[in-house]
């Protein structure tokens, strides 16, 4: 029996964490020829937002001027087989070493060529709270190890993969220079019943855009 699991956080316009504003407009403001039936509710919205909000994907263009934007990421990169690395139970704000990743990968049956790698730090329940910033963090050598392991996309249930208080973005560079998109703020990894599943993570194909919220869905047997 197949089961779908939503791996995304819902965006609440009243508590989005970052800029996300909705303005309700009548459809007739866009199309003056609109004809409403009696009592018909027919609206549209203007949206003003930061592109890095909630569960979102980051394309190489985020940090590389000549990198792929959202419209250029190959579809086959955005879906396929995924392996879930169980990294729960680590000390808060502690480094994730290569040894930790190797052991988690071995327990999951290994990282295969072309895998999407989902890292479950056990922090999705802290999303939107100060404690969310105390998740374990990836050392650059660990990101390099993962990037060289054959993965085609990475997802993590944390606000990012950078070393705390570092603004050099070396871990992003390690991924994005290889064309490996990053999904931040993944949700519900605890609901996955095994170490492998299918994942579908399609953002809008927008030219010259580096990031956007998306609905990430896992399919498990």
In the prediction, which pLDDT does 99 show? 98
CB 80 within 8 A of CB 93: no
pLDDT tens for 71-113 read 999 999 999 999 999 999 999 999 999 999 999 999 999 999 9
Which domains are delineated in the chain? 19-49 (no CATH), 56-220 (3.50.30.50)
Please identify which residue in the block is written with the tokens 């590389």.
64
Task: Count Cβ atoms within 10 A of the Cβ of residue 98 and give its class: 0-12 exposed, 13-18 middle, 19 or more buried.
Answer: middle
CB atoms within 10 A of CB 113: 9
pLDDT band at 2; cut points 50, 70, 90: very high
pLDDT tens for 144-193 read 999 999 999 999 999 999 999 888 999 999 999 999 999 999 999 999 99
pLDDT tens for 127-146 read 999 999 999 999 999 999 99
């Amino acid at each position: 029996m197949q089961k779908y699991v939503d791996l995304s956080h819902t965006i609440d316009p009243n508590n989005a964490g970052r800029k996300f504003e909705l303005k309700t407009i009548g459809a007739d403001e866009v199309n003056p020829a609109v004809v409403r039936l009696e009592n018909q509710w027919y609206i549209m919205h203007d949206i003003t937002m930061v592109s890095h909000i909630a569960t979102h994907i980051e394309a190489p263009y985020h940090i590389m001027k000549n990198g792929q934007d959202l419209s250029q990421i190959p579809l086959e990169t955005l879906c396929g087989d995924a392996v879930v690395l169980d990294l729960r139970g680590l000390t808060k704000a502690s480094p994730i070493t290569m040894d930790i990743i190797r052991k988690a990968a071995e327990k999951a049956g290994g990282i295969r060529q072309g895998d999407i790698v989902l890292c479950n730090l056990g922090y999705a329940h802290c999303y939107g709270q100060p404690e969310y910033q105390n998740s374990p963090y990836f050392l650059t050598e660990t990101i390099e190890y993962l990037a060289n392991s054959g993965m085609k996309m990475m997802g993590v249930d944390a606000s990012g993969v950078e070393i705390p208080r570092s603004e050099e973005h070396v871990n992003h560079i390690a991924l994005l220079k290889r064309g490996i998109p990053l999904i931040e703020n993944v949700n519900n990894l605890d609901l996955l019943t095994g170490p492998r599943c299918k994942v579908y993570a399609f953002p809008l194909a927008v030219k010259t855009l580096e990031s956007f919220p998306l609905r990430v869905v896992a399919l498990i047997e």
